[in-house]
Structure 1
């Protein structure tokens, strides 16, 4: 059988190129392929289009690529608490295409399934459908580029908007377990967006915590047909996006 394993993350991403579109799995900081992202940062490529629900946080995950100004455009749902993401968007250094989370997942899945577009109710009656969302700002704060209107059709008396599928040059994903043929098992909510990021990519690269010689077919969440490269990275720690605490009563005494 074909062994898809690579020795290091650096080797696995070595052919990534300037201007590539990169689909990245995970939600917040959970299930993100942080080791592969670090390898992309080390490689030094730029002008990237990042397709991801969000772009990590300052100093971690995709936030590090933003810090290095390696990202030209993002397609995602949430800026969140990433200050650099917001600053670069509002200053005109970064183009941002907003899309609802469910729509983003379906656009990625459709890209992998060979479906060019689909109709959805998400966004009907908003600027997502009619156009006019700021995609890029000028340095003076005026809008340089607005989103375009989307095609609308009525089915059974209800309006729907047409959303195009997403296809990426490369997909970076994180999995709990894999075999050498690229069959993947995800753990709990770390599954969010990871299967879709692999499916929509021309080359899908998976970092995995546990590498085994054989998986029970009933365990498999994503078949190896969607995965091109596997890197064993060992157990990974998940950071905390927003730490909220309350005062220690004992310290007040």
Structure 2
């Protein structure tokens, strides 16, 4: 549904209600809202103070069965509008919009929600949005943990650039720290020199910063990380042993078997055979 079509429908539905005049002014304000120019949001902020009318509006939007995505200009304007209203029913629409973006792996929608929140509540004059902020933080932290986690866990639908953008909108979210950067860019077969290059640092500066941050050397950390990932693959995935061997850069299965005996005390097949039974 296009911008004008949506606003026209709302104006038509308001004709026989007490909110007709308010909806006409609102539709006009929505049409003049530019989501990139914060100065155009002022009229929406003023009109949102009519709580009964805002409740009516949210009911209508729910009845339309529109999937609220702030990526659409029309729906982004409505999201801005709803954020300004300090009413729990209207806030429910705002939260539902964010949760829909998360459920559908809509990273652009999540970032738009975060951006709008950061503008609306930049002076913290809308405490009703604090709960929304906490939900956003939870989602971004969860996805960042997935992004930093082992590749066998499936990763996140969000990218490194998404997380860097999120930092601009969520003061408590940090994705560009040294530790996070190292964890995000370390791959199964990467060397210390390659990791330094990927972090845009000289090898000497990288190693010094790494030791200060992680409390160990790069080479030791990479070796331990490799062991942890291999053990996880053997115990918690159904990947063939030959595929695990290939993924971690071993020349052949016998070399991989020797590595496992040396580091874990058993051959890969024995580790997998003797893995603990998980209770259900």
Same fold (TM over 0.5): no
Larger Rg computed on CA atoms: 2
Give the number of the structure whose residues are more often helix, by fraction.
2
Q: Using CA pairs under 8 Å that are at least 6 residues apart, name the structure with larger relative contact order, 1 or 2.
A: 1
TM-score, with structure 1 as normaliser = 0.24
